[in-house]
Amino acid sequence: MAMTHGGNQAGSHGGVKDGAAGWLLSRVQDWSRENSLWPATFGLACCAIEMMATAAGRFDLARFGSELFRASPRQADLMIVSGRVALKMAPVVREIYDQMPEPKWVIAMGDCAACGGIFNNYAIVQGVDRIVPVDMYIPGCPPRPEALIDGILKLQERIGKGHRR
Amino acid sequence: MTGVWWQQVMGAESVATRDGMPSVRVPAERWLELANAAANAGYARFLDLTVVDEPSDPARFQVLLTLYSFAARGWLRLRTRTPGPLASVTSLFAAANWYEREAFDLFGVHFDGHPDLTRILLPDDYPSHPLRADHPLGDEPIDFTVTREVDSQW
Amino acid sequence: MVEAPDTSQPEARRELLRINLGPQHPSTHGVLRLELELDGETIVSCRPIIGYLHTGIEKSMAARSWLHAIAMTDRLDYLNPLGNNLAFALAVEKLFDCVIPERAVIARLLLAELTRINSHLVWVGTNALDLGALSVFLYTFRERELLLDLFEEMSGARMMTSFIRPGGLAADLPDGWMQRCKQVLDALPKYVDEYEALLTRNPLFRERTIGVGKLSAGDAIAAGVSGPLLRASGIAHDLRKAHPYCGYEQFEFRVPTATAGDCYARYEVRMAELRESIDLCQQALARMPGGPVRTPDRKVMPPLREEFQQSMEALIHHFKHYTEGLRPPAGEAYVPVESPRGELGFYVVSDGTGRPVRIHERAPSFANLQALPAMAKGMLIADLIAIISTVDPVLGEVDR
pLDDT for position C152: 94
Of A72, A75, A94, the residue nearest A85 (C-alpha) = A94
Contacts of C244 (CB under 8 A, 6+ apart): none
Cβ(A56)–Cβ(C142) under 8 Å?
yes
Alpha-carbon distance of A63 to A66, in angstroms, equals: 7
Residue B118 confidence (pLDDT) above 80: yes
ipTM of the complex: 0.89
Q: Which residues on C lie below 8 Å from A123 (Cβ)?
A: 54-56, 59
Give residue B143's pLDDT.
Answer: 73
Return the percentage of chain A with pLDDT > 90, whole number. Answer: 38
For the whole model, what pTM was predicted?
A: 0.90
Residues of C near B (CB-CB distance < 8 A)? Answer: 50-51, 54, 56, 58-60, 63, 91, 94-95, 97, 221-224, 226, 235, 237, 242-243, 331-336, 343, 345, 347, 349, 357-358, 360, 362, 366-367, 369-370, 399-400
Chain segment B18-67, per-residue pLDDT in tens:
777 888 888 888 889 888 988 888 888 999 999 999 888 888 899 999 99
Q: Per-residue pLDDT averaged across B78-104, rounded? A: 91
Mean pLDDT of B128-149: 81
Walk along chain C (400 residues) and give the pLDDT tens digit of each residue: 455 555 565 655 567 889 988 787 876 688 899 999 998 888 999 999 999 999 999 999 988 888 889 989 999 999 999 999 999 999 999 998 888 999 999 999 999 999 999 999 999 999 998 888 889 999 999 999 999 999 999 999 999 999 999 988 988 999 999 999 999 999 999 999 999 999 999 999 999 999 898 999 988 888 889 999 999 999 999 999 999 998 899 998 999 999 988 999 999 999 999 999 999 999 999 999 999 888 888 888 888 888 877 888 888 888 888 888 888 898 899 999 999 999 999 999 998 888 899 999 999 999 999 999 989 988 998 899 999 999 999 999 999 8
Tell me the pLDDT band of A7, cut-offs 50, 70 and 90.
very low
Query: What number of CA atoms fall less than 13 Å from residue B10's CA on the CB side?
Result: 25
Phi-psi region of A6 (alpha: psi -120 to 50; beta: other; left: phi over 0): left
pLDDT at B147: 63
Interfacial residues of C (vs A; Cβ cutoff 8 Å) = 23-26, 30-31, 51-57, 59-60, 63, 71-72, 75, 78-79, 122, 137-139, 141-142, 144-145, 148, 158-160, 395-396, 399
Peptide bond connecting A103 to the previous residue in cis, omega within 30 degrees of 0: yes
Q: Distance (Å, rounded) from C-alpha A78 to C-alpha A73?
A: 9
Give the pLDDT of residue C312.
87
